[in-house]
Structure 1
Amino acid sequence: MKSLKIRRPDDWHLHLRDGAMLEGVVGDTSRDFARAIIMPNLVPPVVTTADAIAYRDRILKATPSGDSFTPLMTLYLTEQTDPDDVEKGKASGLVTAVKLYPAGATTNSHGGVRDIEKAMPVLERMAKIGLPLCVHGEVTTPEIDIFDREAVFIETVLDPLRGRLPELKVTMEHVTTADGVDYISSASGNLAGTITTHHLIINRNAILVGGIKPHYYCLPVAKRENHRLALRKAATSGDARFFLGTDSAPHVDPLKECACGCAGIYTSINTMSCLAHVFEQESALDKLEAFASLNGPAWYGLPANEEMISLVKGDEPVSFPARIETGDGTVTVFDPMFPLHWQVQR
């Protein structure tokens, strides 16, 4: 197969940052993707509907003219979040989901939830009004190995929460383990998961073998090869409970290449080429549209995009920049470590 036509895709987990970084990266998403769920972990975070309105307006202002792009806004869950404000945001159509960051789990998560009991009034209201909860599914207690954080979160936090509020719709974002895949696959309802581009391609060897490679470091961290293979099987299965959320997360190179490098991989610019490669490897190009364009909208109760895009495979590799320049500095682009031959035809 040399060409493929699919509905225009969406990104159901995206970091755009703010200010000069936002202006430098938003175009890489808006070129290929019609919509994206925008993460709220700014400094300060997006915690109220008013914050979300202001952030959405900054995103739209920074989006290149001529690009059709809709940011889908989320609120950052805290132990002080007002349930009435959350319901107001849902009723206005502005707020698509609320994001749970366990405190300390990832970039700008220090203001996240430490005691889930203190967030229960908001979660109960969300269950009542049908507003999804997006979760960064890792525990942060120091005695738990970083490679086990997702599995322990499922056992000690997520499963008890879903048992207590079975009507709450939960998106387990950036699933990285076979444990996560199995948990979602066995759920009777109200649970889905996003899978990133990079977790389909790299395992933890990419970070550690031959020297530490900071541009492959992300949170949740990449796991063993058996987990990567489980993610590929889920993504390419056509199962409606799994869909694309890139978790594309730009950091300037000096903050990646230092003694305490930031977690995050920038994939927005080449995600569709990477995905076509992966799905072709798995003999599942016919499932790419479901993963990138259909399953996510269905989960969030939105129509699939009417616009179509074409992916074309060429004989020569596609050239993507190794780095992009932003007003904040240089950002390194994800290198899948193999040549890419598929590209979106514009």
Structure 2
Amino acid sequence: MIKIKQFTIIKPDDWHVHFRNGKILKTIVKYTSNFYERAMVMPNLSSPIITIKSAKKYKKNILNALKKNSTFTPLMTCYLTIDTDPDDIEYAFYEKIFFAAKLYPKNSTSYSKFGIKKIKTITNVLERMQKIGMPLLVHGEIVDKNMDIFDREKFFIDKILIKLRKDFPELKIVLEHISTKEAVDYIQSVKKNLGATITPHHLMYNRNDMLSNGIRPHLYCLPILKSKTHQEALRKAISSGNKKFFLGTDSAPHYYYNKESHCGSAGIFNSLSSLSIYAEIFEKMHALNHFESFCSRNGALFYSLPENKNTITFIRKSWKIPDKIFVGEKIIIPFLAGKMVKWTIE
């Protein structure tokens, strides 16, 4: 079988990324803006993006970190709390301040302590979002000290998401960074208004990679890596060509000492290598014919946005991922640090 040497696709969008703020933002935003035309920016900062004012300030910080000739567009999201005002949501949506709103179950991931404990507390907000066509992005995990961490996503679907869709059938919902076969099966079973993002790390690795032969803290993320069965279900989903699945890196940088500690932070920084990794996986699945749709078409279609005009070209040329990224004197360890990947982006 002859291997292709290069191919060109519509410039992709990253429908789930964490930029943080301050020095980290200024250092890492280029790794997304260089390779992606748009990105859905997550609002769970240490001081979360809850208000219109904070969203405007955060977007300005992102734009100020870009190159002068950059065409990159950050799409801002609102962090939902029990105090979120439906009128503010509607105004911000129509004024294109907030593109979507994010539902974090309380304490489900990094900086989610202001999240939602019971869905009924934000019913008025969800009703308004459904009415105006504003997308709801969901971190799909139930958090319960008595529940196995590997079952959180499945139980969220069974106990919350199914009812949420029944109560708000016209609300456009994205189940973010899915990690289970149950999530794949549920997404495929729904006819409309439900999509899902899939990360490169959930496609590339499973929990054995994280926990066998020593614990690898730089593979720790939420949702946590699952078994090989679930990894294979995700791979089959992207290689099927189903338009409900699209690219979302969930790239989330932490300084190395917050990862390599007695209580390591959840998050994987993969922005600089994500597209190369996706390309490798699609090629391995003999599914490069679906690669452009996953990266550049499916998300835009789901969000009713135009496809991007620019393109990028992949060349079969190996390159080494840096061992570390410096933020001043501090260090972030990137995903697959020091390893070789097969595809270079021109």
Q: Normalization by structure 1: what TM-score?
A: 0.97
Contact 1:201/1:336 (<8 A) preserved: no
Matches within 5 A, 1:1-346: 1-314=4-317, 317-327=318-328, 329-335=330-336, 339-345=340-346
SS in 2 for 1:246: coil
| C-alpha distance in 2 between matches for 1:290 and 1:109 | 32
SS in 2 for 1:167: coil
| C-alpha distance in 2 between matches for 1:268 and 1:49 | 27
Alpha carbons of structure 1 residues 173 and 235: separation in structure 2 relative to 1, 3 Å: same
Unpaired runs of 5+ residues, structure 2, are none
Unpaired runs of 5+ residues, structure 1, are none
**The 10-residue stretch of structure 1 (325-334 or 294-303) with the greater mean CA deviation from structure 2:** 325-334
Contact 2:322/2:337 (<8 A) preserved: no
Shift of 1:94: 2.3
Contact 2:321/2:340 (<8 A) preserved: no
| C-alpha distance in 2 between matches for 1:160 and 1:338 | 43
Q: Which amino acid aligns with 1:319?
A: K
SS in 2 for 1:340: strand
Shift of 1:338: 6.4
| C-alpha distance in 2 between matches for 1:162 and 1:179 | 16
Contact 1:21/1:328 (<8 A) preserved: no
Alpha carbons of structure 1 residues 231 and 336: separation in structure 2 relative to 1, 3 Å: farther
Number of aligned positions between the proteins = 343
1:54-73 CA-to-partner distances (Å, cap 9, x unmatched) read 11001000123332210000
Q: Which amino acid aligns with 1:205?
A: N
| C-alpha distance in 2 between matches for 1:336 and 1:173 | 25
Contact 2:323/2:337 (<8 A) preserved: no
Contact 2:269/2:335 (<8 A) preserved: yes
Q: Normalization by structure 2: what TM-score?
A: 0.97
| C-alpha distance in 1 between matches for 2:134 and 2:328 | 35
| C-alpha distance in 2 between matches for 1:294 and 1:329 | 37
Q: Which amino acid aligns with 1:169?
A: K
**The 10-residue stretch of structure 1 (2-11 or 336-345) with the greater mean CA deviation from structure 2:** 336-345
